[in-house]
Structure 1
Amino acid sequence: MNKFWIVMSHTYMTRFKTKSFLISTIITLLFVVGLANYQTIFDAFSDEGKSEIAVLDVTGEFFKPLEKTVENANEDVDLVAYDKSEETGKGAVEDEKIDALITIGMNENQLPEATYYANNIADSTEQTVIQQQLQQLKVAKATSQAGVDQETIKEIYSPVNFDAVALDKSAKSSEELSQARGIVYVMLFVLYLSVITYGNMIATDVATEKSSRVMELLVSSVSPVTQMFAKIIGIALLGLTQVGLLLGLGYALIVSKQDELTGGVFTEFGIQGASLLLFIYAIVFFVLGYLLYATLAAMLGSLVSRTEDVQQMIMPMIFLVMIAFFIAMYGLSAPDSSFVVISSYIPFFTPMLMFLRVGMLDIPFWEVALSLAILIGTIILLAVIGARVYKGGVLMYGKSSSLKDFKKAIALSKKE
């Protein structure tokens, strides 16, 4: 057991001190901070003050209502009446005395039309706001000409009342589905990225030690099985360190911005009001999913002697994760489809798909228990096979990255 802790701590500290880990962690933390304060950052880099746009309304009818609606839609756009000629206005724009000029006139149907003049029209934000509000004025004008009153117009444009009611008493409500969908979505991405990142890290770590011949010294003092699981746990702790820092920062940001987050993105992702059981399932499926793929990664990493061959060797594992992820993305809109249900019992897909079903549906506990039993059984089986492959694989050297080396690795393990 002492040797296990030595290898585990060595794996953890070696990776923890690498520049790549420190830089990636710092960048991720900065990204989270930036995401939480994106509006402040955006305002800091945006142009100061309002955009002053002159409006030459030759009809004398649309400036006042347009000014009011645009101000309500975007407070950073300031419309001012312009009483000089169009050419003079264009000159003022070119001389940067005003930001833009809009001319409003009537077409042959006595409906408004406009032209927008600016030195640069690449930024369409202001144009879009003004165009949308002018469109509303055009609709009001056209319907007025047709004898349609404003109340009828409001009724036409008001959204249709559409309620979704589940008749099955065990089915989840729309609110519960929205909460679950956000958590499931986050869990799928976290598991997907974790498996690819830390699985690759485990395989690379094994291959690096083999390429430097350190493995020969380790094998003589520590059993290969102890090495494999020590590395898996060591990398897992490294991942927990990184995730823990992110969660700690996230919690601090949530506490400091509670008022801003309530009713916004925070609520959109379903964190508020979600059941404790759903979080427990998320942790269980995440841990089991990590153990499954980490064991597979260590086994595959032991079959290569050069770090250059790692990516090729673990490609089947990455494909499995990608397939599970894409099925889960489909399952977000159809969690009860036969394809998703059957796939959720396939061990390599279970961590994502069964959690998806648990979050989106109210399924019997025996289904969850059965999937967990299959998943745990697969992890144990993979650990037994993986230990034998790892035991023989760490003794194999030379240019090799073929899955055919499984038999050779198992044969070597029997001789030991």
Structure 2
Amino acid sequence: MSNSFWTVVGFTVRNKFRGKAFVITTLVIALILSIGINLPYIIQKFSSDDNEAVSIGYLQKTEDMLKSSTFNNATLAQALNKHFEASPEPALKLVPFQETGTPQGDEKALKQAIDDGKIKGYIEFQAGATGAFPDGFPDVVYKSEKLMDTNVTESLAGALQAVKTEMVLQDSNLSQAKRDLLLAQVDVQTLQITTTAGAGNVGEGKTSSEQAMDMGLVYVILILLVMAIMVTGQMIASEITAEKSSRVMEILITSVAPVTSMFGKIFGMFLVGLAQMLVFVGVILLNMALPHNREPLADLNIRLADIDPVLLVYALVFYLMGYFLFATLFAAVGSLVSRTEDLGQAVMPITVVSLIGFYVCMFGGLSNPDTTVMKVFSFIPLFSPYAMVVRLGLANPAAWEVWVSIGLLLITILVAGWLSARIYRAGVLMYGKRPTIKELRKAMKAYKV
């Protein structure tokens, strides 16, 4: 039986690697990953103008220079220019325009400058709520042809806030040390602790960097698991259905026991999926190592040493168990379908169950990993590969919870494997329409595993 098992594994792997569809799909996904990783750099290359400071105009009212108010047109414009010039990559650049003598003429001149491409928009200083300008801080109105020009307005708001603070402090008679202390940013560090006795040393005393790496690992495991279930599971089911519809299955079962054939295909597809994942990981690492991607990644402060080794082990355990549980179900369903056209509808329930677990954990569990739903899901074998990985990485499940979840998942895999083997043994020889439960039970009794 051992030789037959490895024969089936080898045949499945070779057959899949030689298939054009598999090779093309792998190359397309690898290309998509490469484009996605390098997309910011590509966008930057094709939109080099975005890196230049945006020119915005303002009216240079010389009479303001004679006024003693802290906040006037000239001083604000001058302070804004200094603020942007001091930045390593200034977002904005102020362009002065002389008054024409009338408000209508000023407006016309500024609009003409926009039409000529000299500026993207212009700002106006108006009387603010804190008092009549120039006695109080003015309201600033930005006018441009662009709809929802949030980049400019956010840059202006941040610069004006800094300028206002600096101007007020100049008249406050504070020492330089106190000014530096006032303007210094407050840094709050977070440390994840556990109050649960016997939590298995998972999630105890983690710094922000370690928490970020755990979050990243959980996210990657969820994505890899759903991809393995959706892609590899579909391949297992379609491979079995294709062999059954072409009558190749009748030849195979004369030399290899059906159970050996099923588990050989499951393990063979696991190796195929693993090889595909390694190709994708290699593509990701290769693209991340490119010169234009090194600096942005260095700024993220990614350190693999911060990954909790206990979490990594548990994540791999739940990943493998989750894969083999769903793989046996896909194999059983694939053996009941005689035509590949009917396969999509047949595997739909398994696919939906897998997606429910994924979406609940991805969009609810990552932000609230210790909710009642997540706790319940972590003990339901069809959902626990997703839910328990999230709780291990982002919450503090007790050790008994982890091992009960593993035990339930292991028992379910054994039961599902036994049941799937019986269904497979009976289903591969049943052709035509999908058998009813009654017909399947009779066949399972006739063909004992």
Residue 53 of structure 1 is matched in structure 2 by 55
User: Are residue 78 (structure 1) and residue 99 (structure 2) matched?
Assistant: no
TM-score (norm. length: structure 1): 0.83
Question: What is the CA distance between 1:402 and its match in structure 2?
Answer: 6.0
User: Which of 186, 193, 206 lines up with 2:227 in the alignment?
Assistant: 193
Provide the secondary structure at the position in 1 that maps to 2:98.
Answer: coil
Structure 1 residues 87 and 302: CA distance shift in structure 2, 3 A: same
User: Are residue 172 (structure 1) and residue 204 (structure 2) matched?
Assistant: yes
Residue 133 of structure 1 is matched in structure 2 by 159
The 2-side partners of 1:177 and 1:115 are apart by 41
User: Which of 78, 83, 93 lines up with 2:114 in the alignment?
Assistant: 93
Question: What is the CA distance between 1:63 and its match in structure 2?
Answer: 1.8
Q: Is the 8 A contact 2:57 2:94 kept in 1?
A: yes
Question: What is the CA distance between 1:157 and its match in structure 2?
Answer: 11
Residue 261 of structure 1 is matched in structure 2 by 297
Provide the secondary structure at the position in 1 that maps to 2:338.
Answer: coil
Residue 112 of structure 1 is matched in structure 2 by 139
The 2-side partners of 1:30 and 1:408 are apart by 49
Residue 356 of structure 1 is matched in structure 2 by 390
The 2-side partners of 1:342 and 1:126 are apart by 48
Q: Is the 8 A contact 2:55 2:93 kept in 1?
A: yes
Instruction: Extract unaligned runs of 5+ from structure 1.
Output: none
The 2-side partners of 1:265 and 1:320 are apart by 36
User: Are residue 275 (structure 1) and residue 271 (structure 2) matched?
Assistant: no
User: Are residue 375 (structure 1) and residue 389 (structure 2) matched?
Assistant: no
Residue 33 of structure 1 is matched in structure 2 by 34
RMSD of the TM alignment (CA)? Answer: 3.6
Provide the secondary structure at the position in 2 that maps to 1:115.
Answer: strand
Structure 1 residues 197 and 394: CA distance shift in structure 2, 3 A: same
Matched residue pairs, number? 408
Q: Which moved more, 1:274-283 or 1:73-82?
A: 73-82
Residue 43 of structure 1 is matched in structure 2 by 44
The 2-side partners of 1:126 and 1:73 are apart by 17
Equivalent position amino acid for 1:346 in 2: I
Equivalent position amino acid for 1:11 in 2: T
Question: What is the CA distance between 1:205 and its match in structure 2?
Answer: 1.5
Provide the secondary structure at the position in 1 that maps to 2:124.
Answer: strand
Q: Which moved more, 1:354-363 or 1:381-390?
A: 354-363
The 2-side partners of 1:209 and 1:149 are apart by 84
Structure 1 residues 135 and 220: CA distance shift in structure 2, 3 A: same
Question: What is the CA distance between 1:243 and its match in structure 2?
Answer: 0.8
Residue 325 of structure 2 is matched in structure 1 by 292
Provide the secondary structure at the position in 1 that maps to 2:381.
Answer: coil
Q: Is the 8 A contact 2:91 2:155 kept in 1?
A: no
User: Which of 332, 341, 344 lines up with 1:311 in the alignment?
Assistant: 344
Provide the secondary structure at the position in 2 that maps to 1:198.
Answer: helix
Percent of residue pairs identical: 31
Q: Which moved more, 1:351-360 or 1:160-169?
A: 160-169
The 1-side partners of 2:231 and 2:435 are apart by 20
Question: What is the CA distance between 1:344 and its match in structure 2?
Answer: 1.8
TM-score (norm. length: structure 2): 0.77
User: Are residue 410 (structure 1) and residue 444 (structure 2) matched?
Assistant: yes
User: Are residue 400 (structure 1) and residue 421 (structure 2) matched?
Assistant: no
Instruction: Extract unaligned runs of 5+ from structure 2.
Output: 62-72, 100-105
Q: Is the 8 A contact 2:249 2:428 kept in 1?
A: yes
Q: Which moved more, 1:364-373 or 1:314-323?
A: 364-373
Structure 1 residues 167 and 197: CA distance shift in structure 2, 3 A: closer
The 2-side partners of 1:20 and 1:319 are apart by 25
Deviation digits for residues 225-248 of structure 1 (CA, Å, limit 9, x no counterpart): 122112111211111111111222
Question: What is the CA distance between 1:194 and its match in structure 2?
Answer: 1.4
Question: What is the CA distance between 1:43 and its match in structure 2?
Answer: 1.3
The 2-side partners of 1:233 and 1:245 are apart by 18
Equivalent position amino acid for 1:87 in 2: K
Structure 1 residues 400 and 114: CA distance shift in structure 2, 3 A: same
State which structure, 1 or 2, has the greater radius of gyration over its C-alpha atoms.
2
